[in-house]
Amino acid sequence: MTLTTTEADKLLTDHFAPWVQALGLSTAETGERHAVLRLPWSDRLAREGGGLSGQALMAAADTACVIAVASARGGFGPMTTVQQSTTFQRAVLAQDVLVHARITKLGRRIAFLDIALTPEGAEDPAAHATAVYALG
């Protein structure tokens, strides 16, 4: 049973550090093997030059993966990021970002995910990530 967006948003409140919560993430969609989070634009998250910081994008990708895995497993459980690799393709300027985390393999003890970070209204991602999680 997948999580609802309301249940996923409650996970964001209950299980993430205050600095992750300060990103303002919200759940736009959940499914059997994916989750989509919205990272709202904020000048606080911009680096010199006005682009959204890579650290904010990477934290959003990591968080979306946790929500996707929790949705696939029917609830939150212990998990640890083992690997995350991110490629930045273009700057995000004054736009919300939709963070699409898709599970490519879900085992009993490990999960693999592919993440696209796309500015709202754009066709092409601004960043792409892959991640591996150890599951408890």
Q: What is the CATH number of the domain that holds 99?
A: 3.10.129.10
Identify the band that residue 109 occupies on the pLDDT scale cut at 50, 70 and 90.
Answer: very high
| Domain encompassing residue 54 | 5-135
pLDDT attached to residue 1: 80
pLDDT attached to residue 48: 87
What letter represents residue 9's amino acid?
A: D
132 exposure class (CB count in 10 Å sphere: 0-12, 13-18, 19+): middle
6 exposure class (CB count in 10 Å sphere: 0-12, 13-18, 19+): exposed
Q: How many domains does the chain have?
A: 1
pLDDT digits (tens, 9 = 90+) for 39-60: 999 999 999 889 999 999 999 9
Concatenate the DSSP letters of all residues of the chain into one string. -PPPHHHHHHHHHHHS-HHHHTT--EEEEE-SSEEEEEE---GGGB-TTSPBPHHHHHHHHHHHHHHHHHHHHTS---EEEEEEEEEE-S---S--EEEEEEEEEE-SSEEEEEEEEEETT-SS-SEEEEEEEEE-
Does pTM surpass 0.85?
yes
